[in-house]
Every structure is written in C-alpha cells, then in structure tokens.
C-alpha cells in the first residue's frame, strides 16, 4: 500500500493521532520499516516526550530501530528527543517554566534530515495538545512543512474522534492520510464502526497492512 504514496518527496512525515495511546509510536515503527523496504534511509524526530523518568521510552525504542535501518543516522537520544519532561501531561503543562525554542526545533529538524531520505516526526498526544498557550501539536505540522499521517482508533467512539481530527487538519490546509490502528475493540470494529467508515470514506488504510 505504501508504494502508492510518494511520502519521500516531502522529506518529512509527521505522525499524529486522535489522542494519546492510539498508536503513534507503533505507526512510526510501521512507516519506518515500510519506507526502509523501499530503499529509503529513514530518520526519526520526537520534539517532545513527557512522562520521562530515566529515559524517553518511546524515543529510545524508535532510535534503536532507526539505527538498525539506517546506520548513518548517528545521533543520540538528546538529538532526536530534545525536550524531555517528567510529568506525563501536555507539553504546555509538563514543561513548567521551560521556554520552547521553535527556531531550535527547526534547526534540529534540518540537522536530522541531513542523514536520511525521510524524517519521521512523532507528535505528542493528539493534534490539539498544547505546547504554548496558542500553539498546538497540529501547528508543528505546518511549521515543519510536513505531510501528516493521522492514526485513528478502532474503538467505540473512534468515528467521532476521527472526523473531528480530520476537520482540524482540513481547517489548516494540511495534506494528510489517516490509518486505522486495529487494536482497541478490534473484535467489534467490523460491526460497530466499519459500516459508517467504509460508506463515508472512499478508501480505508490500516496500520497492520503496511
């Protein structure tokens, strides 16, 4: 399926989701492996990770995978996850008195892109998670000039979450695809959610099929 998409033409691909614990890191892993199989050198960038105690768990796992797929991506964890906060909350809350330097993030993105064909950027939580008072995760997608991948859930309530997130992306003129993560309520998904989704959307993509 990914062979039909020219994600690599935009250099960076931003992975977000309808909410937390929907499968962003899993989606990053699936895209990294799929793009690597196409012969592309992949990289990884997670500007913020919260709930960090000893190390950023999601960022660390992805960095280990990326280094196996692309040995030229010789960065350390502080490069790929520059802002690490202990409190498991939105960056706006978790950062406390820390001032987020968006110019620094742009420079870091450019540096990471030099060692890959496609830089996979992972957001924090859902699209409307705040970073500063009037800056949200969705705003990073335009700031970074990325195409977006929206990860959506298979659970009950997923239709509402999916449509709201899609409306938010459209309102900012962001190019995107969405992929359903068949994880929660997957045994009832075909009966509860699929009938509407397949009638409403011309095509459905699933992370498990990458």
- pLDDT one digit per residue (tens) for the chain, 210 residues: 555 555 555 689 999 999 999 999 999 999 999 999 999 999 999 999 999 999 999 999 999 999 999 999 999 999 999 999 999 999 999 999 999 999 999 999 999 999 999 999 999 999 999 999 999 999 999 999 999 999 999 999 999 999 999 999 999 999 999 999 999 999 999 999 999 999 999 999 999 999
Per-residue DSSP letter, 148: E
pTM above 0.85, yes or no: yes
Beta bridge partners of 169: none
Q: Are 48 and 155 spatial neighbours (Cβ–Cβ below 8 Å)?
A: no
Residues contributing to the annotated binding site: 21-26, 50, 58, 122-125, 202-205
pLDDT of residue 7: 55
Indicate the annotated binding residues for substrate: 50
Q: Which of 11, 30, 46, 95 is catalytic?
A: 46
Residue 130 has what pLDDT?
Answer: 98
Q: Is 46 a catalytic residue?
A: yes
135-136/205-206 β-pairing: unpaired
CA distance 133 to 115: 33
Question: Is residue 47 within 8 Å of 125, Cβ to Cβ?
Answer: no
Q: Per the structure block, which two tokens stand in for 80?
A: 């790929």
In this structure, the strands spanning 147-153 and 135-136 are: unpaired
Annotation: binding site for ATP? 21-26, 58, 122-125, 202-205
Please report which helix (H) or strand (E) contains residue 198, including its range.
helix 194-200
Distances (CA, A) of 130 to 72, 165, 196: 33, 15, 31
pLDDT at 11: 85
Using alpha carbons only, how large is the chain's radius of gyration in Å?
A: 16
Tell me the CB-side half-sphere exposure of residue 166, using CA atoms within 13 A.
Answer: 14
Would you list which residues are annotated within the binding site for Mg(2+)? 25, 58, 122
Q: Quote the tokens at residue 141.
A: 């997608």
What CA–CA distance (Å, rounded) separates 85 from 55? 10
What pLDDT score does 6 carry?
59
CA–CA separation, 51 vs 61, rounded Å?
15
Domains within the chain, CATH numbers bracketed? 9-170 (3.40.50.300)
Largest Cα separation within the chain, whole Å, is 47
């Amino acid at each position: 399926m990914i062979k039909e998409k020219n994600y690599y033409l935009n250099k960076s691909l931003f992975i977000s989701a309808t909410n937390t614990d929907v499968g962003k890191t899993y989606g990053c892993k699936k895209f990294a492996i799929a793009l690597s199989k196409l012969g592309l050198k992949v990289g990884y960038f997670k500007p913020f990770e919260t709930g960090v105690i000893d190390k950023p768990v999601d960022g660390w796992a992805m960095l280990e995978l990326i280094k196996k797929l692309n040995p030229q991506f010789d960065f350390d964890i502080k490069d790929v996850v520059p802002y690490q906060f202990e409190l498991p909350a939105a960056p706006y809350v978790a950062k406390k008195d820390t001032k987020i330097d968006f110019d620094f993030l742009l420079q870091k993105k450019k540096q990471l892109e030099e060692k890959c064909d496609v830089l996979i950027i992972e957001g924090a939580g859902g699209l409307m998670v705040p970073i500063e008072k009037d800056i949200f995760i969705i705003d990073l997608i335009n700031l970074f000039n990325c195409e977006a991948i929206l990860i959506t859930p298979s659970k009950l309530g997923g239709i509402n979450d999916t449509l709201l997130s899609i409306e938010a992306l459209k309102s900012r003129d962001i190019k995107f695809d969405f992929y359903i993560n068949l994880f929660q309520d997957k045994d009832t998904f075909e009966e509860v959610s699929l009938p509407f989704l397949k009638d409403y959307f011309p095509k459905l993509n699933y992370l498990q099929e990458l």
